[in-house]
Amino acid sequence: MNQKFELSKEQKDEMVKKIQGFFQKERGEEIGNLASMILLDFITEEIAPVFYNFGVADSYTFMSEKLDDLFGIEK
């Protein structure tokens, strides 16, 4: 499965503002909307899937443990 993360316009706008705020606070740099959008696109396409997969793996582990607990009450 190779789905892209779909963000609403409002979510993108908020994330762009956060990226701009980060650059201003941490680096003392002002970056424009285009640069922020390009960075956001890079993050959602290249980096976010790694964290998503971590979440899937954690969910699998959690559910497996709960399933083992369920089998523990068998008679």
pLDDT, tens digit, for every residue of 18-60?
A: 999 999 999 999 999 999 999 999 999 999 999 999 999 999 9
pLDDT at 38: 97
From CA 54, how far away is CA 48, in angstroms rounded? 10
pLDDT at 48: 92
| pLDDT average, residue stretch 6-17 | 95
**What global pTM score does this model have?**
0.74
Using an 8 Å Cβ cutoff, are 23 and 29 in contact?
A: yes
Decide which of 3 and 54 is more confident.
Answer: 54
DSSP letter for 3, please.
Answer: P
The candidate with the shortest Cα–Cα distance to 19, out of 41, 52, 47, is 41
